[in-house]
Amino acid sequence: MKLSGIYVPHITPFNKDQSINYEALKTCINYWINSGLSGLVTLGSNGEFPYILREERTKLIKTVIDYVNGKTQIIVGTGAPSTIETIKLSKEAIDLGADALIIVPPYYFKVSSQDLIEHYKKILNKIDASIILYDVPKFTGYSVEVTVFEKLVNEYSQIIGIKDSSNNLLHISELIRRIGDKIAILGGTSRVILPTLVLGGKGAIVAVANFMPKQIVKLYKAFRNGNLEEARKIQLKVNQITDFMKAYNQIAIVKAITNIIGLPAGIPRNPIQSIKGEELEKVRKFIEKIELTR
């Protein structure tokens, strides 16, 4: 599997009773596929994977894969706090037909670089599939050292990419300098899509692709076609949006905006609460002001 372009770490719509709304998810999938994205990332951070029950995972993954039916790539998040659980979840996702896996580093307990290397080695020795490694300090509490990624990439050929959500251009540039000729480095935060591409990255997996996929794909294509001015303008608009979003819980604001533009994103799963009342009206007015539509 070759990674390039824009991928959406898609939301999981929930009903008021907190159950998964599969019909709403299918409606959203239709929109994402028709927006020119390179693929979907199921059970990523924006899919609220820590809140998805073990018994719900199989149906959710199978629903997405069966409904997409080969129309686009499906990457499934299978990271867990323990190595043994990550291996189990990874095997299940591959058996269900995932094109690739994205594996977040262990969270809750902080681990050393050596712990992390051994963790990933045990997984990579057990899983024969395309693997994307992930660095997301804001959720794990630590950033993965470039040397860790470099060691793993040099040893395991099934690693096809790294999603870097550090929001640190120095970190991203070092990954590209050291291993960017071997695997795809993907921007993981909306503010660094264009900078990552300029440095030699192959694309991005970003939350804003849930509600503005066409614009993000347009940014990517503008860059690839050499139209840096158009790409720059879109990036600056994205920055304006993400700056506004910082005041809210990420899951809640992504779902609020996705609902406002007319997609059935549903509500977050508790304990995260929906944005309501005056705050929701503030979000609505902002979306109208910047003229963000489907």
The residue ranges of every structural domain in the chain are 5-289
Q: Phi and psi of 52, rounded to 5°?
A: -85, 125
Q: What is the pLDDT of residues 209-253, one digit of tens each?
A: 999 999 999 999 999 999 999 999 999 999 999 999 999 999 999
pLDDT at res. 176: 98
Mean pLDDT of 173-193: 98
Mean pLDDT of 82-96: 98
Tell me which of 134, 202, 218, 220 is the catalytic residue: 134
Where residue 141 falls (left for φ over 0; alpha for ψ -120 to 50; beta otherwise) is: left
Q: What is the pLDDT of residues 112-133, one digit of tens each?
A: 999 999 999 999 999 999 999 9
Tell me which of 31, 163, 202, 218 is the catalytic residue: 163
Rounded to the nearest integer, the mean pLDDT of the chain is 97
Report d(CA 180, CA 63) in Å as an integer.
Answer: 34
Share of the chain above pLDDT 70, in %: 100
Tell me, yes or no, if 134 is annotated catalytic: yes
Q: What is the pLDDT of residues 189-219, one digit of tens each?
A: 999 999 999 999 999 999 999 999 999 999 9
Mean pLDDT of 75-92: 98
In this model, does residue 294 exceed pLDDT 90? no
134 touches 110 (CB < 8 A):
no
pLDDT at res. 1: 84
Q: How confident is the model at residue 168 (pLDDT cuts 50, 70, 90)?
A: very high
Q: Choose between 23 and 1: higher pLDDT.
A: 23
72 touches 33 (CB < 8 A):
yes
pLDDT at res. 293: 87
pLDDT at res. 143: 95
pLDDT at res. 41: 98
Q: Which CATH class is domain 5-289?
A: alpha beta
pLDDT at res. 180: 97
